[in-house]
Amino acid sequence: LQRLYERYCGQGLEILDFPCNQFREQAPESSREIASVCQTKFDTAFKIFEKIDVNGASASTLYVYLKAQQPQDRGGHMLKEAVLRLAALGSKHQAGDIRWNFTKFLINRQGEVVARFAPSVTPEEIENDIKKLL
């Protein structure tokens, strides 16, 4: 994501990172610690927000909106998606829920949610979609 941001931020690309700890508690650190690790380890320059919930009764209104606009993931690798489904077993997911960290939404300049990508879709795989919107 950082490489895409560096490549296209001058053309208007913004990346907004919303940490979430709803997926097997993979992000138990504070929001400040998460941002620090991302900035130190990955040299991220894009905005990292406070940790939020993306599913359930306490889901952020932003994610309620995003999921309503794009309820299905696009893309994904069959094997990786099968692993994600197994990891989510026992979770009470509803239609449209985010299934795992690193689900990505693509929003155009008019604020329309044009795509939702599965967690297994790499940033490089959505580069052409980004370029079309810039």
C-alpha span between 54 and 66 (Å, rounded): 10
What pLDDT does residue 13 have? 97
Percent of the chain with pLDDT over 70: 87
Task: Give tens-digit pLDDT for 7-28.
Answer: 999 999 999 999 999 988 888 8
| First-last CA distance in the chain | 16
| Higher-scoring residue by pLDDT: 100, 77 | 100
Distance set, CA 85 to CA 16, 26, 88 (Å): 25, 16, 5
Which pTM value belongs to this model?
Answer: 0.84
Q: Which of 106, 97, 99 is nearest to 8 (CA)?
A: 106
C-alpha span between 127 and 113 (Å, rounded): 16
